[in-house]
A = this chain, B = another copy of it.
Amino acid sequence: MKPKIIIVGGGFGGLAAASELASVDAEVVVIDKQNHHLFQPLLYQVATAGLSPADIAWPIRRILRRQKNARVVMAKVTGVDTAKKRVLMGDEFEDYNFLIIATGASHAYFGHDDWAPYAPGLKNINDATDVRRSVLMAFERAEIEDDSQERARLLTFVVVGGGPTGVEMAGAISEVARKALSKDFRCIDPRTARVLLIEAGPTLLSSFTPTMSRYAQKALEQLGVEIRLGDAVTHCSADGVRVRDGSIPAATIIWAAGVAASPAAEWLQASKDRNNRVIVDRKLQVEGLPQIFVIGDTATFIGKDGDPLPGVATVAKQQGKFVGSVIAARLHGKPEPAEFRYRDVGQLATIGRRKAVVDLGRVRFKGWLAWWFWGIVHIYFLVNNRSRFTVAIQWLWSYLTFDRGARLIVLDD
């Protein structure tokens, strides 16, 4: 029997690990509860009607088609039996010799899980189409609403959290209202929509430099977004949000404030940080379980500046590649790398049409050049040429017409 390496999760980390293990004489099994790998950095565009789900998601087994030692299983993992070395999927299980857990994270409501139905986050395709439906439905409902107070509530959109996702969502919703929808209604003027971005900290995009943060804030304000810094959402309901100095009636709330890792720590009975992330050693292994690696958003790993590495695609990819090479070295009896080192390639965030910020460490720029750079980088990282073509064309279309191509509300009959 060949050794068996199980990878749970077909995100950036899991796929990087699988790819690194392509030439190893072992069975590589990728298990995911969905059939697709998702390009999360563009998920907000699905939520704001710019792209279709299939533009940014591809079947995992299609991606791994040519990797002969890889097998893909679509199933929901329910636990890990570390004694018997088994991954449990309900009544079924798969034995492993090595296990890589790359299950990502979902939204966290700081102990207020009851807010979830009113303030959806943005982690998977369902989240994105749900948000798209509520944003577009708010305008539809406002169009047939006679009561002016209720109409104002319907046309108020609150985004909670001023990180990249919150900034991108707020900018995109404001552009949808002010450009894409502006001429389509007869009873309301979508340009009167109020988009609020609420951030508890003192700046937007706190991981960028202060100049960049200030630029992002100004650019968003030019797009018509109201920004509240240093304010905290203390309650979410169907009526709206409560903030420090009162209530904001709003029909649509989008949660971009906190994430919590998937339940991997519980599966492994491992130590975790307050965001549920598994504490791993310098090789991304779990203490006492040297065959188990945890990577990406599911793990917490202290970088060289003393802070945990951020939950971004590049960290997950590099960690996946690293643990793949560690396992390959062990299987081949070769010396393995001593510890994971994160190579910071920089960060980008887009705000709106021709407005973005780019921080590559040595080089920093903002404005239209950063926006084009952002677009080209994102198209480059899409999985295949079909997606590159279709995304490029939809963006070109939106750029030229201010239109949004995926303004679909799909309701049950």
Contact = CB atoms under 8 A, between A and B. Distances in A.
Interface of A: 33-36, 52-55, 57-59, 61-62, 65, 71-75, 92, 124-126, 129, 136, 140, 143-144, 183-187, 385-387, 389-390, 393-394, 397, 401, 403, 405-413
A282 to B, nearest CB: 33
Given A62-B184, A185-B61, A413-B126, A397 B386 contact: yes
A107 to B, nearest CB: 11
29 contacts: A34-B409, A34-B410, A35-B136, A35-B140, A36-B407, A52-B53, A53-B408, A53-B410, A54-B405, A54-B406, A54-B407, A57-B408, A59-B184, A59-B407, A62-B403, A65-B184, A71-B186, A71-B187, A72-B143, A73-B144, A74-B409, A92-B144, A125-B408, A129-B410, A385-B397, A386-B403, A387-B405, A390-B405, A393-B393
A189 B171 CA distance: 47
Contacts of A185: 61
A40 to B, nearest CB: 15
Nearest to A387: B405
Contact of A394 (B35, B125, B386): B386
Given A71-B186, A185-B61, A411-B34, A394 B405 contact: no
Nearest to A69: B186
Contacts of A406: 52, 54
Contacts of A33: 411, 413
A59 B176 CA distance: 14
Nearest to A136: B35
Copies in the complex: 2
Contact of A389 (B124, B144, B387, B397): B397
Contact of A65 (B53, B136, B183, B385): B183
A73 B407 contact: no
A47 to B, nearest CB: 13
A411 B129 CA distance: 12
A124 to B, nearest CB: 7
Nearest to A74: B140
A6 B185 CA distance: 17
Contact of A62 (B124, B386, B387, B407): B407
A3 B52 CA distance: 40
Contacts of A410: 34, 53, 125-126, 129
A129 B408 CA distance: 13
A386 B393 contact: yes
A54 B406 CA distance: 5
Contact of A52 (B55, B187, B413): B55
Nearest to A38: B408
B407 A35 contact: yes
A192 B150 CA distance: 57
Given A74-B140, A126-B410, A393 B389 contact: yes
A223 to B, nearest CB: 21
Contact of A408 (B36, B75, B136): B36
Nearest to A94: B144
B393 A405 contact: no
A58 B405 CA distance: 8
A54 B408 contact: yes
